Amino acid sequence: MMVGVSDDRPPEDNPADNAVRPGDDTEIPTPTADPGKPAAPLRLRTLLIIAAVLLGLDLLTKTIVVAELTPGDPVPIIGDFARLSLVRNPGAAFSMATGMTWLLTLVAAAVVIGVIRIGRTLRSLWWAIGLGMVLGGALGNLVDRLFRAPGPLQGHVVDFIAVGWWPVFNLADSSIVCGAILLVVLTIFGFEPDGTRAGHGHTEETVTDNSAEPDEPSGNGANGAASSKGNAA
């Protein structure tokens, strides 16, 4: 006795069943980057190199100034307009908030941590330059607040650059200000930290209903035209 073999087969998936139909709530994702274009490299190393160079320059200049200059005895560079003048600053950049040294130290530490966290996913070279300048300057002044007199968290920052009526500052202050200005400019012009530019990330546009092909003449319309010709004949 032979056992019959069933001809039943599992139903095959119809691609048309999975297609998105008009009226469905399913959203079609729009690609935001060119699939064939490789992603920009991470820029954390660039950021750290820039920060390290600026930190080294800041520490070097402060060491020389402390060893060679005397407070209250400025050295003219361009007459009285530009000069070197050693000042111990307990406040923020440009001698602001002089009575909040400990708070400024904590803020500087928070800035350093925040910049490093952002830099871990950074892909824009210009953002890496700007953040590297901010990080290098913040570290330069943070070292002063931690290791200079009168003590940890209370250390006075060494300022020595005097230009005109502007408050005395140092290389770290200049680095922070220039880096912040660069970041503001990048934000205004739409350059993102991930290497893209606002409004230029999409490579394809979503097809709208207006782009649908015009409907073909219906059969009734064609029959009606034929009937009209027959009546005219």
pLDDT digit string, tens, across residues 120-131: 999 999 999 999
The DSSP H or E segment spanning 143 is helix 125-147
Question: How many CA atoms lie within 13 Å of 6's alpha carbon, on the beta-carbon side?
Answer: 3
Using CA atoms in the order 79, 81, 85, 87, what is the torsion angle rounded to 10 degrees?
160
Tens-place pLDDT, residues 50-64: 999 999 999 999 999
Identify the bridge partners of residue 197 per DSSP, sorted by sequence position.
191
Q: Which two tokens stand for residue 44?
A: 């954390």
Q: For 64-93, what is each residue's pLDDT tens digit?
A: 999 999 999 999 999 889 999 999 988 665
The active-site residue, picked from 58, 173, 194, 209, is: 173
Active site residue 34: no
What are the counts of helices (DSSP H) followed by strands (DSSP E) for the chain? 5, 3
Residue 80 designated active-site: no
Predicted confidence band at 135 (pLDDT cuts at 50, 70, 90)?
A: very high
Measure the N-to-C terminal CA separation of the chain; round to a whole number of Å: 74
pLDDT of residue 37: 59
Interstrand relation of 157-163 and 75-78 (parallel, antiparallel or unpaired): unpaired
| pLDDT greater than 70 at residue 17 | no
Among the listed residues 24, 73, 159, 194, the single catalytic one is 159
pLDDT tens across 140-170, in order? Answer: 999 998 999 888 888 899 999 999 999 899 9
| Residue 52 in tokens | 């390290």
pLDDT band of residue 113 (cuts 50, 70, 90) is very high
Counted residue by residue, the chain has a size of: 233
